[in-house]
A and B are shown apart, each in its own frame.
Chain A
Amino acid sequence: KNEVEQSPQNLTAQEGEFITINCSYSVGISALHWLQQHPGGGIVSLFMLSSGKKKHGRLIATINIQEKHSSLHITASHPRDSAVYICAVRSGNSGNTPLVFGKGTRLSVIA
Chain B
Amino acid sequence: DAMVIQNPRYQVTQFGKPVTLSCSQTLNHNVMYWYQQKSSQAPKLLFHYYDKDFNNEADTPDNFQSRRPNTSFCFLDIRSPGLGDAAMYLCATSSGTGVWNGYTFGSGTRLTVV
Contacts and interface: CB of A to CB of B under 8 A. Distances in A.
A95 B108 contact: no
A2 B108 contact: no
Interface in B59-97: 88, 90, 92, 94-97
Given A42-B108, A95-B96, A98-B48, A33 B88 contact: no
Interface in A7-31: 30-31
Question: For the side of the interface on A, what is the size category?
Answer: 20 to 34
A41 B90 contact: yes
Nearest to A4: B42
B42 A42 contact: no
B42 to A, nearest CB: 4
A99 B105 contact: no
A48 B102 contact: yes
Interface in B32-58: 33, 37, 40-43, 45, 48, 50, 55
B41 A95 contact: no
Nearest to B48: A98
* Residue among B40, B48, B50 with most chain A CB within 10 A: B40
Contact of A31 (B30, B40, B100, B105): B100
A68 B55 CA distance: 28
B103 interface: yes
A28 to B, nearest CB: 12
Given A90-B99, A101-B43, A102-B42, A45 B31 contact: no
B33 A98 contact: yes
A104 B42 contact: yes
A92 interface: yes
B8 interface: no
Contact of A97 (B37, B40, B99): B99
A52 interface: no
Contacts of B100: 31, 48
Contact of A41 (B41, B101, B108): B108
Nearest to B104: A45
